[in-house]
């Protein structure tokens, strides 16, 4: 087995070595600076070892097989697209890379540099109620995704799935900036436009705010209808790259999509809307009793035409509590644990 390991290590690419080393060093750092136990460290190292063997085994089998790389933004669209590829019997030849993040919120200032990434991580950790286990793995997962993108072979076409929302549009510009030195053909599939056109949705009716809301069945139809879409030209790519450079100078932590543009806005942009939502719920219920914050947040999200996520709205609810706008009952460690009402 030792000789086999030596051979596997010899065949690692530079990016794979960096990824493996980062995962190990990151966990050593966690042992020294957090409550991450040595027992958990040992278990994670064993998992890294097993994952490494499985990854190399799969890669050796499929090294020459995958012909297309899909890039999506979020766990939901990644799961749906993988289901589509399995149904189309393309799961061996087409690979899915997913950014498990929400790019409409949080800093993106210099995100392509270590200083910007650290700022984003610290902001999310200090402001957004995210599961501790998810937050602990955030840096590793984000860096692994960027390494996977950088490791895409030059001859493999890339398809990036996007919708008309600030999350996917911001992420698109970030990824195209990461790929700026690559010569791959890069195609965009606009799920919003395709959804409206293929399924004849009038402007006044509801349509998905982001790719993750589209069912696998409809996602497959969109993919099949876009088989002949032309790749981006160098001029188009350069335009997106320039837009990222401009966007990454901004310090705002909230972005919305309006008039086909990403707009960076103040974090309190929706505060009045949240307050009015609570006021309307009080009027509707004909009382001023406490109501679950989850209900308030659900009402806000359900009526917004932007994809900013419930966690950002929950952050603003907590801010309004601290500012004395809302009274609180319970502990605000997660939206299900507390209730609010207007003072």
Predicted structure pTM score: 0.81
pLDDT digits (tens, 9 = 90+) for 144-185: 999 999 999 999 999 999 999 999 999 999 999 999 999 999
Tens digit of pLDDT for each residue in 202-247?
765 677 999 999 999 999 999 999 988 999 999 999 999 999 999 9
- Helix ranges (H only) for the chain are 2-10, 14-33, 38-62, 75-87, 114-127, 132-150, 166-178, 191-198, 216-225, 234-247, 271-285, 293-303, 310-322
For the stretch 275-286, pLDDT in tens is: 999 999 999 988
**Whole-angstrom distance, CA of residue 51 vs CA of residue 257:** 39
Determine the average pLDDT of the residues in 110-117: 96
**Cα 147 to Cα 139: distance, rounded to the nearest angstrom:** 12
Three-state DSSP state, 327: strand
Domains annotated for the chain, with CATH where assigned, are 66-247 (no CATH), 271-342 (1.10.10)
Q: What is the rounded CA–CA span in Å between residue 24 and residue 83? A: 32
Phi/psi of residue 293, nearest 5 degrees? -60, -30
CA distance 219 to 318: 36
With b for 16 or more beta-carbon neighbours within 10 A and e for fewer, the 144-179 pattern comes to bbbbbbeebeeeeebbbbbbbbbbbbbbbbbbbbbb
The percent of residues in the chain predicted with pLDDT above 90, rounded, is: 72
């Amino acid at each position: 087995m030792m000789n086999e390991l030596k051979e596997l290590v010899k065949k690692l690419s530079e990016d794979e070595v960096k990824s493996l080393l980062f995962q190990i060093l990151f966990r050593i750092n966690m042992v020294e600076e957090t409550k991450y136990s040595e027992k958990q460290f040992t278990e994670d190292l064993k998992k890294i070892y097993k994952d490494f063997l499985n990854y190399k085994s799969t890669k050796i089998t499929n090294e020459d097989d995958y012909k297309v790389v899909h890039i999506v933004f979020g766990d939901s669209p990644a799961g749906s697209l993988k289901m589509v590829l399995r149904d189309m019997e393309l799961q061996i030849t087409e690979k899915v890379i997913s950014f498990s993040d929400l790019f409409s919120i949080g800093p993106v200032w210099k995100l392509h540099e270590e200083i910007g990434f650290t700022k984003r991580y610290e902001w999310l950790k200090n402001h957004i109620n995210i599961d501790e286990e998810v937050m602990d793995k955030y840096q590793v997962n984000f860096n692994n995704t960027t390494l996977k993108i950088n490791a895409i072979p030059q001859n493999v076409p890339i398809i990036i799935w996007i919708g008309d929302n600030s999350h996917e549009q911001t992420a698109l510009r970030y990824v195209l900036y990461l790929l700026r030195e690559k010569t791959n053909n890069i195609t965009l599939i606009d799920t919003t436009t395709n959804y409206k056109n293929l399924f004849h949705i009038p402007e006044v009716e509801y349509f998905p705010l982001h790719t993750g809301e589209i069912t696998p069945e409809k996602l497959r139809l969109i993919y099949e209808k876009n088989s002949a879409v032309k790749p981006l030209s160098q001029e188009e790519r350069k335009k997106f790259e320039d837009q990222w450079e401009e966007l990454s100078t901004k310090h705002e932590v909230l972005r919305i999509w309006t008039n086909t543009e990403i707009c960076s806005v103040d974090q309190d942009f929706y505060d009045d809307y949240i307050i009015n939502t609570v006021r309307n719920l009080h009027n509707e219920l004909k009382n001023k009793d406490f109501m679950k914050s989850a209900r308030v947040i659900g009402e806000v999200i359900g009526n917004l035409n932007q994809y900013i996520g419930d966690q950002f709205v929950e952050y603003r609810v907590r801010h309004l509590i601290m500012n004395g706008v809302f009274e609180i009952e319970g502990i605000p460690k997660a939206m299900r644990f507390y209730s609010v009402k207007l003072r």
